[in-house]
Amino acid sequence: MKIFNTPNEEGFFGEFGGMFVPEELKGVLREVDDAFKKYSTDKDFLEELNYYYNQYIGRPTPLYYAEEMTKDLKGAKVYLKREDLCHMGAHKLNNVIGQILIAKRMGKKRVIAETGAGQHGVATACAAARFGMECVIYMGEIDKERQALNVFRMEMMGATVKGVSYGTKTLKEAVDEAFMDFVQNKDNTFYVVGSAVGPHPYPHMVKFFQSVIGREAREQILKAEGKLPDYVIACIGGGSNAIGIFNEFIGDSSVKLIGAEGAGKGIDSGLTAATITIGKEGILHGFNSYVMLDEKGEVAPAYSISAGLDYPGIGPEHAYLAKTGREKAVPITDDEAVNALKYLSKTEGIIPALESSHAIAAAMKLIPTLSKDKLVIINLSGRGDKDVHQLMNIK
């Protein structure tokens, strides 16, 4: 597998990343890293992973020519990478299956995870059910409310969903709780991290498992068009779907990489999750990256209408790619995302997740400025069924 930007031994991409955790946790993370290093080049492991990608998740997902959107926007030709068609409705399972297969080989019987939008929790509950593992999901109380349907799904598959009711009551505290559990139960437990964040080796490991998106997309666009895309656009929460599709194109300087961030009510409103755009360098959840900080230098709460995007940090590799100019971040407001969700539903008959709608919105701004010979791939990271209830309450 072609993986760009392998971090150094300490897990750094440039100055970003690392393992800023207590000594006790470092030992556990090194075990995970050793297992990942061993199995990520192991033929049997990769064959098994591929089997589940194909037979369980339903890969490869189509690269769909969005003809109506292309006609309507009168600019570049648009393709959608249909991760919304993955089992459980989003890209999350690509990563979860990979990590659970590692956990299984390490002899772990219990998996834990954090979740924001609920998609990663659902994916973990689903894979835990499939592999007969005990499963505990940590979720902020606010997210539990916003994503009640996903809580119901997780419980249906046998997971215990533990609400976190302090701080912002969202993803940030859910991650804190999961790390605490990991240290306390390290002998029998594997922490399945849901995005390209956290201490080393998680950002790199998550990218490894999500890189299947870009690998397929590259092959599919070359088959369909005989050339590489000019732009690849993806939404960024912690950054896993984006880095998964970007990986394959990082080495091609002609392909521009755009990450759509959750601007919430606007980047100057104080209610935003546009971490690359306005964040500062800092440490969160064991890694150095761009982080939302307040005047006192403490982590500030992030906000986005989309539960999967309101994380006050960003995966370290995205910070590195943004700082070196390889990736550009575009902030998208709640209103623009909701508008894009309605737009794609009406033009293509595809209801995107609120998270993915940020990528659609960024594309809607860009495409009319491009000539018809240009190609744009949008990573449609998930479907919007989980958001319909929330949208019904938006006037």
Ligand X SMILES: Cc1ncc(COP(=O)(O)O)c(C=O)c1O
Q: Tell me the C-alpha distance between 94 and 310, whole Å.
A: 21
Q: Minimum Å distance from CB 253 to ligand X? A: 24
Our answer to whether residue 92 is catalytic in this structure is yes
Least spacing, CB of residue 90 vs ligand X, in Å: 4
Residue 172's nearest CA partner among 20, 274, 89, 292 is 292
Shortest Cβ 383–ligand X spacing (Å): 8
Nearer to ligand X, 119 or 390 (CB): 119
Please check whether residue 268 is in contact with residue 277, taking contact to mean a CB–CB distance below 8 angstroms: no
Calpha distance 249→255 (Å, rounded): 7
356 touches ligand X (CB under 6 A):
yes
- Does 203 help bind ligand X (rule: CB under 6 A)? no
| Catalytic (active site) residue 114 | yes
Helix, strand or coil for residue 366? helix
Q: State the catalytic residue, choosing from 114, 216, 336, 348.
A: 114
Query: E strand or H helix at 100, and its extent?
Result: helix 92-105
Alpha carbon separation from 225 to 65, 139, 376 (Å, rounded): 11, 42, 11
Cβ atoms 111, 135 nearer than 8 A:
yes
Cα(149)–Cα(387) distance, integer angstroms = 9
Contact 86, 26 (CB under 8 A): no
Q: Does 238 bind ligand X (CB under 6 A)?
A: yes
Site string for ligand X, 20-39 (x = CB under 6 A): --------------------
| Residue 195 binds ligand X, judged by CB under 6 A | yes
**What is the DSSP code (8-state) at residue 299?**
B
Select 5 or 241, whichever has its Cβ closest to ligand X.
241
Q: Which is nearer to ligand X, 189 or 241 (CB)?
A: 241
- Check whether the bond before 201 is cis (ω within 30° of 0): yes
Q: Does 239 bind ligand X (CB under 6 A)?
A: yes
How many CA atoms, within 13 angstroms, populate the side-chain half-sphere of residue 267?
Answer: 12
Q: Between 372 and 391, how does the x/- string for binding to ligand X read (CB under 6 A)? A: ---------xx---------
Name the minimum Å distance from CB 290 to ligand X.
Answer: 14
Looking at beta carbons only, is 75 or 249 nearer to ligand X?
249
* 277, 331 Cβ separation under 8 angstroms: yes
Verify binding: residue 237, ligand X, rule CB under 6 A: yes
Q: Total binding residues for ligand X by CB under 6 A?
A: 21
**Interface residue with ligand X, options 248, 261, 355, 387 (CB under 6 A):** 355
Per-residue binding letters, 38-77, with ligand X (x by CB under 6 A):
----------------------------------------
Q: How far is CA 168 from the centre of its chain?
A: 20
Q: Does 116 bind ligand X (CB under 6 A)?
A: yes
Binding piece for ligand X, criterion CB under 6 A, among 125-133, 152-160, 224-232, 239-247: 239-247
Interface residue with ligand X among 308, 312, 313, 331 (CB under 6 A) is: 308
In contact, 292 and 278? CB cutoff 8 Å: yes
Residue 193: phi, psi to the nearest 5?
-80, 140
User: One of 77, 81, 92, 207 is an active-site residue; which one?
Assistant: 92
353 binds ligand X (CB under 6 A): yes
| Numbers of helices and strands, H then E, in the chain | 16, 14
Task: Rule CB under 6 A: choose which of 108, 120, 146, 169 binds ligand X.
Answer: 120
Residue 145 among the catalytic residues: no
Structure-token pair, residue 294: 């307040």
Catalytically active residues, by annotation:
92, 114, 381
- Residues found near ligand X in the complex (CB under 6 A): 90, 116-117, 119-120, 195, 235-242, 308-309, 353, 355-356, 381-382
